[in-house]
Structure 1
Amino acid sequence: MIALRFAALGDSLTQGIGDPVDGGWRGWAALLATGLVPAEEPVEFRNFAVSGAQTADVRGRQLPAALVFAPDVVSVVVGVNDTLRRTFDIHAVAAHLDAVYGAFAERGAVVLTACLPDPGAMLGLPGALARPLARRQHAVNSVVHALSERHGAVHLHAAEGAWVADRAMWSADRLHPGERGHRLFAARFHAVLAASGAARGPAPGTEPERPAPTRSAGLWWLATAGTGWVARRCTDLLPQLVALAADEVRHGLRGTSARLDLRATAGAAAALSAPTASAAEVTRT
């Protein structure tokens, strides 16, 4: 019997960070893999996701290897790291995602996508710092929505809802789901896949096997590993984010904040109007 092949592309969310198992990471994609087919049928799962990956990394590094694997089902969940870089460019994000989605869709694979919460809100940043990041993530989500429809992808709306505000869903770092969150993410993906006939196995369980991280664990993470994480992001993003925050304050005082929203919306629309890359062009990239 030929195994169904499932490939997962993306960043730390798909790599499984926040859901530790046996000295490594499991994550929502591995949990979902077990429910794609009935228990008696084989499934071959490969996780190409890498922590810190941006859309350019998925296109340039993960896509070629995944195409060789020739998956029947492939998830592409990425974009948050792009918003946390000073080099953020919604046109480049759209071009990379369009190429990746298109490469798999043209080969007949079922493509899974998702929109995600903005990192500023998850980290609890002050409004003037959080709003520019939220605007960026909203632009990425708009692009993901539109491109998912363009390529016939199975899309999960995960940017909002009760799960975002539920502390029990998240790991100590407040950016990655904990086990409960990964399980919910997998179960929600299974539901939309089952509705389309692409998942025929049992839905992943949503109850965790380990307790959720405590508040003290979150503080310990921030004081140890989290400090390094913030420092690395600040080296790249902070100077620009401070400038964006100052611009946010100026527009707020003038009552023209809506212009910033319109500018971001127009940027996403322009990015989506760019020509679509063909599968042959993607292979040559």
Structure 2
Amino acid sequence: MTGAALSGLPTSGSAGVPAPVTSLGTHPPGAPANGPGSVAAPRAVLRFAALGDSLTEGIGDPVPGGWRGWAALLAEGLAEPGRVVDFRNLAVAGALSKDVHERQAAAAAAFRPDLASVVVGVNDTLRHSFDIRRLAGRLEEVCALLSGGGAVLLTACLPDPGTALGLPGPLRRPLARRQRAVNAVVHDLSTRYDLVHLHASDRAWTEDRSLWSADRLHPAERGHRKLAAGFHLLLTERGLARGNPPGREPLRPPPGRAAAALWLATRGTGWLARRSTDLLPGLLGLAAAEIGHQALGTSARLDARAERALCEALDAMTRTPRPCGSVPRVRTEG
């Protein structure tokens, strides 16, 4: 494993390809620094693997040489006198639950982490092939693999991308319905595997523009810091974090209107073009269905259909089927 300065942590090249490990730690008070003739005091090592997509890769929180992000910030806060953190960021922009299941999970298991974060699913909701049952099965197998290896798992429920982007109702509601189903699966897994679960899907996240980068899809530095601080607090409550929590205030100014316009004129157009061949045709069909059901006053049927699919997905993850009435509702608003 090679060392890398945290502030210059490079991004991964493809899904499941390990990024260099960052070793973080401090000397016990009064201990001599490493050098000729000195003997380093033994230090415990905490291995932390981060799995997921662009959110965990750190997009929206740029540093010289690449991205940093909430997971790297959290790793800083886990280091303490007498303990070193070996941090490996396996997350890759654009990753789906399939990528985490088929590539990243195996790489993480080989790393034998003490702590692992699994935050994925938003990209799945943006695909025409979205299937909540397949996603649930993949996430359950990842959780079983890593927790079975002794890792404490971190996860989070997230806002839906339609709300974050401010899309009109007929386009927003299908994405909201899908993301709520993903969040329900994550909540269920969190309970059954005793995961460290962060709630990051409420309106406080989508309405606070200072938390978001120019693309409105990824957190800005302030948002990444809020995620890192939230996870650190949860770990502290479990007695698993004793280092200083990550600072909540950004060290760089938030993106302004000029930055947003530049992103839309450059990278934003490319993002839309790539999604046009997959997301947009399917999303337009979903929007047409929303409009049709709304005109007929039968929108509840779409909510019921999503709830049945979620119920089946959750039942498929356990040998003891539960009544559909016990499944978290995925009804959309507005």
TM range (shorter): over 0.9
* Conservation of the 8 A alpha-carbon contact between 2:177 and 2:306: yes
TM-score normalized by the length of structure 1 = 0.95
Could you say what secondary structure the match of 1:273 adopts?
helix
Could you say what secondary structure the match of 2:303 adopts?
helix
1:117 pairs with 134, 159, 176, which one? 159
Higher RCO, 1 or 2 (CA under 8 Å, sep at least 6)?
1
Alignment of 1:137-156 (within 5 A): 137-156=179-198
- The corresponding residue for 2:148 is 106
CA distance in 2, matches of 1:149, 1:63: 20
Amino acid at match of 2:190: S
Rg larger for: 2
- The corresponding residue for 1:261 is 303
CA distance in 1, matches of 2:240, 2:77: 10
Note the alpha carbon deviations across 1:174-227, whole angstroms, 9 max, x for none: 000011110011001111111111212111001111000001211110111100
Amino acid at match of 1:188: G
- The corresponding residue for 1:57 is 99
Unmatched runs of 5 consecutive residues or more in structure 2: 1-42, 320-334
CA distance in 2, matches of 1:153, 1:167: 29
TM-score normalized by the length of structure 2 = 0.81
* Conservation of the 8 A alpha-carbon contact between 1:49 and 1:62: yes
Equivalent residues, number: 277
- The corresponding residue for 1:283 is none
* Conservation of the 8 A alpha-carbon contact between 1:169 and 1:177: yes
* Conservation of the 8 A alpha-carbon contact between 2:61 and 2:68: yes
- The corresponding residue for 1:68 is 110
2:215 pairs with 173, 181, 188, which one? 173
CA distance in 2, matches of 1:24, 1:49: 13
Could you say what secondary structure the match of 1:182 adopts?
helix
Q: Shift in Å at residue 276 of structure 1?
A: 5.2
* Conservation of the 8 A alpha-carbon contact between 2:124 and 2:130: yes
Q: Shift in Å at residue 37 of structure 1?
A: 3.8
Note the alpha carbon deviations across 1:51-81, whole angstroms, 9 max, x for none: 0000010010101111010000000000000
Q: Shift in Å at residue 150 of structure 1?
A: 1.1
* Conservation of the 8 A alpha-carbon contact between 2:57 and 2:69: yes
1:200 pairs with 242, 246, 251, which one? 242
Q: Shift in Å at residue 39 of structure 1?
A: 4.1
* Conservation of the 8 A alpha-carbon contact between 1:18 and 1:25: yes
Q: Shift in Å at residue 36 of structure 1?
A: 1.8
**Alignment identity in percent?**
62
Unmatched runs of 5 consecutive residues or more in structure 1: 278-285
CA distance in 2, matches of 1:36, 1:180: 19
